[in-house]
């Protein structure tokens, strides 16, 4: 039988835009209780209001920088207070993204460090802090956001590809470490999706960001949100290990069909 998300606690990192904000609305529509984190609190507030409107039974938000251990600790202490018991049923490790599209020859230390901090170390920090709140043998799920970039390589994306390959390996390791605990562990790995991802990658250059999606039909945030809900709501004995989701116009990370 499908796992009901009604009144279950769902924690989403990077909930201020894109997949995270859409996931808040989608889990909200299932009647879940939401804990949302990201750095831009004003945007979290908007995502929280939309999720409440979609049917969430409770929505709370708090600033979170997954690149900072102290911030993760503060956030999780706040989350623990809200949840009270060990009943965090869904953890969505979504915070992350790509910064820059430089070759290795032109790469910037700050960009490399930020990508490893959010996509890899942030995922580890949040998961470490959340694990004591996740119930055993009760249908709980940890769902990590990977990428096609973690499974293939393209020029200008060395560290982002490495970070998402790291996410995939961490997901697999967790499945070993949680063996017997009755906690599901999944990775959902999208291809080209129109969110603020490109704006962040191109450091606020809206022209370049818009061009990335020009003439093609990318995924949208709601496509991934719907899949995250589906993964978490499978019967408790079913673990969706890995899911790769691309637009029909995309054959591989660097190969996108564009209509004139």
Q: Which residues bind ligand 8X3 (CB under 6 A)?
A: 147-149, 157, 191-192, 253
Query: Which is nearer to ligand 8X3, 5 or 159 (by Cβ)?
Result: 159
For tokens 């009647």, the residue is: 31
Q: Which does 66 bind (CB under 5 to 8 A by kind): ligand 8X3, ligand NDP, none?
A: ligand NDP
For residue 33, which of 109, 71, 84, 105 has the smallest C-alpha distance? 84
| CB 24, min distance to ligand NDP, A | 10
Q: How far apart are CA 53 and CA 36, in angstroms?
A: 15
Query: Which is nearer to ligand NDP, 140 or 161 (by Cβ)?
Result: 161
Is 160 catalytic? The answer is yes
Query: Would you state the structure tokens that stand for residue 201, as one six-digit string?
Result: 């990658």
Q: Which does 253 bind (CB under 5 to 8 A by kind): ligand NDP, ligand 8X3, none?
A: ligand 8X3
For tokens 């590809």, the residue is: 161
In this structure, are strands 193-194 and 184-190 parallel, antiparallel, or unpaired? unpaired
CA distance readout (Å), 160 to 25, 77, 113, 202, 235:
27, 30, 10, 13, 33
Residue 26 near residue 228 (C-beta atoms within 8 A): yes
Q: How far apart are CA 224 and CA 227, in angstroms?
A: 5
Query: Which is nearer to ligand 8X3, 20 or 139 (by Cβ)?
Result: 20
For tokens 């009755």, the residue is: 182
Q: Which does 28 bind (CB under 5 to 8 A by kind): ligand 8X3, ligand NDP, none?
A: none
Query: Out of 10, 11, 17, 139, which residue is the one contacting ligand NDP (CB under 6 A)?
Result: 17
Query: Which is nearer to ligand 8X3, 149 or 229 (by Cβ)?
Result: 149
Coil vs helix vs strand at 35: strand
| CB 97, min distance to ligand NDP, A | 4
Tell me which of 3, 19, 160, 213 is the catalytic residue.
Answer: 160
Site string for ligand NDP, 27-56 (x = CB under 6 A): -----------xxx--x-------------
Q: Which residues are catalytic?
A: 160
């Amino acid at each position: 039988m499908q796992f009901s998300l009604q009144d279950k606690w769902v924690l989403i990192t990077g909930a201020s835009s894109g997949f995270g904000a859409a996931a808040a609305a989608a889990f909200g529509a299932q009647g879940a209780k939401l804990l949302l984190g990201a750095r831009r609190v004003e945007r979290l507030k908007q995502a929280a209001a939309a999720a409440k409107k979609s049917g969430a039974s409770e929505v709370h938000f708090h600033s979170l920088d997954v690149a900072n251990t102290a911030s993760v600790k503060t956030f999780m202490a706040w989350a623990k207070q809200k949840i009270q018991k060990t009943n965090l049923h869904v953890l969505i490790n979504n915070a992350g993204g790509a910064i820059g599209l430089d070759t290795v020859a032109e790469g910037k230390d700050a960009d490399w460090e930020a990508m490893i901090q959010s996509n890899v170390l942030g995922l580890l920090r949040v998961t470490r802090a959340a694990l004591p709140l996740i119930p055993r043998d009760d249908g709980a799920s940890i769902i990590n956001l990977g990428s096609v970039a973690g499974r293939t390589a393209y020029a200008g994306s060395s560290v982002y590809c490495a970070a998402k390959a790291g996410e995939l390996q961490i997901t697999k390791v967790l499945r070993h470490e949680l063996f017997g605990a009755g906690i599901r562990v999944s990775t959902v790995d999208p291809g080209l999706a129109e969110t603020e991802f490109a704006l962040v990658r191109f450091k606020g250059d809206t022209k370049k960001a818009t061009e990335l999606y020009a003439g093609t039909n990318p995924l949208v945030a709601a496509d991934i949100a719907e899949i995250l809900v589906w993964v978490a709501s499978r019967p408790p004995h079913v673990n969706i290990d890995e899911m790769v989701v691309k637009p029909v116009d995309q054959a591989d990370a660097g190969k996108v069909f564009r209509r004139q």
